Structure 1
């Protein structure tokens, strides 16, 4: 998450196709290393390298999409295809991982990525448009990249430690404070940098800033609901990892159908603003449905909430990136999408840590606390829907 901004800047400077291929190659090599790892140190290092590869891949993908397809129906259809794939990957990853782990063992989740990354490396030069040469510039803002990565990590670490060491402990409060100070220093660094990681114009771009806030809240809630589902069906209902994974597959299918069938008419008829208001409010209502389903102690009672989460969050997710792309220049699409992606990653981590803390605080003899966490996430998501009103209804592209 921290290196997404650097990956986005590299896509704008060096070329999106070039960074897509480089990111896929690094992701594939790191996956092989992870699958073959014999000790925890190598495994963690492989995961970190996967993260660097993803930090190059994700903004490059969106930059290619936004610069290849024209605004309007053409880009809307492209976003629907991208959203279908992305929604399935994001929302069904836990299900597929559970099945692979149960049947083939944990290294299989690494091996599964190798054919896909290899296909990207081989096919991209012949399928994707060539990179446009950009004028030479001063270089990359490496201090800025280090600051945003360190600051984000410290904030997430501090929130995570708050649950075990106590929120007033020097470990938790100190890490959060140091993280916030580091992120504050990032803004000062960017003002003085000859070639900043965050262009000044993007820091005042309303659609981009609103979208970052929305995705921060949404992904925190979605990540928490994944945790709620897994904890409940395995810890309370006693399902095996394989059964839990299979039980999550309807969400991935619903996400794919939502992106493929609902996204184009939503954007064409409602525009970005109304689609986001409805999507965020619907995701908030879905979290409340999760809380209600927990009391029934049955997978079948939870299934409607699982499916509805796929429809609401799976459709809202690509709309957020469509909103972020509006008003961003072609040569800044990489870093613009990386800003939203960074908010997504940090929001997922901060949201999970915060709402698990809510669950721990609310837990008692008659309650696991998971319902309280779901309700808190739902209220935050529904309230965030009001932020979408700050966006222009059009353009949808």
Structure 2
């Protein structure tokens, strides 16, 4: 469990550490103001595009093998990123880091679902996994500011190398070989290629839309081809003998519900990040390091939500209520943030929203993957988690694009603007309100998961013989 948590920590740090370094990267490497966002977005394109392929590779080739490969990709691409001297090289390195994440993420979840006994033991493992992810956001924000300030932007890439090497050595010694468990059936190459192309183009189109324009040929072409490939993928999967994503997975109610909920959640949470950092730096005038430190209370509460609140709620009331309460709380935190933002430089009015945000997001995030894997067989865990995280990437890109459009609608920030800071603030408040209402509405999806209330002494599976309708089969009493 320590190794799985450490790997999840690496994944989370790598995702968060570059934010504070972005201004220096832009100056030193030669990014324009319009292209700098691709330092972040390139990772999302690589991750979102390859997740489904990575999840099935974990199922077929073994979680241990794919975890080692993922760590190797992280290490090599981090070295390349630190040495990059042009935007193209750095963007390429970030795409490869995303590919590493597409293997590492489903590998950690597969190990949890196959190495830990169902029930309280597995619930605790999910809690530790979620806590590691939340702590990575703390360490990433702090380390990014400190490393950039004292050692330069390249250090945020180099720091991954010793961490990955240590994790690779530990993987060899702690996890037994996949030789006996690995699935040797034919790998669905056509399905993998089409799924990767569809996910990559959809994520790319949604990320590039605000920059290129939603009516531009690039945006429309990427989204149209991505959608066509997505339809083609389902046709291929229905006909192939060994599909990448077996169609039966979409009959698992808990998995489908988790996919829908994380789609809504990630759109809300990505927008929260955007609103929070823009408000701190553009409206309130904080430095990047100050903004990173302001992120700490949220991350600390997220760790508490994952480590303490989630196991209690799941054991007492089940996964369904963890999902419902978590998404309701995220929505409320967005609405509270909307009414808390002012042109003042004081951070104190934002604290209630930040604490609610961290607590409920930290509780909700592991619960979604707990629900996603509850119905799947051991050889389906990788692809189940990959489907869920792919939905997160697409939902995050789509939700943030839509809500940023709300935030910037009608703004005039040119030389003739009378109050540009106030205009930005008005847009952020409107975006937060819309996102909060959408999150609260999406919370009711949780009731698609049938509640299970097992009596004392009952095993979790006995209450309902239909796997797709159980609430993660949690024994009570």
Aligned residues: 396
Could you say which structure has the greater relative contact order, defined with CA pairs below 8 angstroms and 6 or more residues apart? 1
Q: Distance in 2 between matches of 1:50 and 1:305?
A: 32
TM-superposition CA deviations, 1:109-150 (whole Å, max 9, x none): 212212221111000122224324345212x22332232233
Q: Distance in 1 between matches of 2:116 and 2:212?
A: 50
Q: Does 1:395 align with 2:439?
A: no
CA 300–95 in structure 1, closer or farther in 2 if over 3 Å, else same: farther
8 Å contact kept, 2:77–2:96: yes
Equivalent residue for 2:181? 133
8 Å contact kept, 1:359–1:372: yes
CA shift for structure 1 position 102 = 3.2
1:348 alignment partner, one of 396, 404, 408:
396
Q: Distance in 2 between matches of 1:191 and 1:20?
A: 29
Q: Does 1:328 align with 2:386?
A: no
Q: Distance in 2 between matches of 1:96 and 1:351?
A: 28
Q: Which entry has the higher C-alpha Rg, 1 or 2?
A: 2
Equivalent residue for 1:378? 436
Equivalent residue for 1:78? 125
Q: Distance in 2 between matches of 1:371 and 1:361?
A: 12
Equivalent residue for 1:7? 54
TM-superposition CA deviations, 1:289-332 (whole Å, max 9, x none): 11112135332211222222111101100011111111100111
TM-superposition CA deviations, 1:60-111 (whole Å, max 9, x none): 1100011011111110111111110012325764454344333432112212
CA 160–118 in structure 1, closer or farther in 2 if over 3 Å, else same: closer
Q: Does 1:192 align with 2:239?
A: yes
CA shift for structure 1 position 165 = 5.1
Q: How does 1:1-397 map to 2 (within 5 A)?
A: 1-90=48-137, 93-131=140-178, 132-138=180-186, 140-164=187-211, 166-295=213-342, 297=344, 298-361=346-409, 363=411, 366-368=422-424, 369-393=427-451, 394-395=471-472
CA shift for structure 1 position 349 = 1.6
TM-superposition CA deviations, 1:251-288 (whole Å, max 9, x none): 11111111111111011001000111100100000111
Structure 1 unaligned segments of length 5 or more: list them.
none
Q: Distance in 1 between matches of 2:118 and 2:194?
A: 34
**TM value normalised by structure 1:** 0.94
8 Å contact kept, 1:76–1:396: no
More off after superposition, 300-309 vs 11-20? 300-309
Q: Distance in 2 between matches of 1:21 and 1:135?
A: 17
More off after superposition, 83-92 vs 299-308? 83-92
8 Å contact kept, 2:334–2:435: yes
Q: Distance in 2 between matches of 1:303 and 1:295?
A: 13
Partner of 2:385, secondary structure, is: helix
CA 94–361 in structure 1, closer or farther in 2 if over 3 Å, else same: farther
CA shift for structure 1 position 204 = 1.6
CA 18–141 in structure 1, closer or farther in 2 if over 3 Å, else same: same
More off after superposition, 61-70 vs 95-104? 95-104
Q: Distance in 2 between matches of 1:27 and 1:95?
A: 20
More off after superposition, 295-304 vs 233-242? 295-304
**TM value normalised by structure 2:** 0.79
Answer 1 or 2: which has greater helix percent.
Answer: 1
Q: Distance in 1 between matches of 2:69 and 2:203?
A: 28
8 Å contact kept, 1:362–1:372: no
CA shift for structure 1 position 340 = 0.7
CA shift for structure 1 position 168 = 4.0
Q: Distance in 1 between matches of 2:227 and 2:217?
A: 15
Q: Distance in 2 between matches of 1:97 and 1:386?
A: 37
Q: CA RMSD in A?
A: 1.9
CA shift for structure 1 position 166 = 4.5
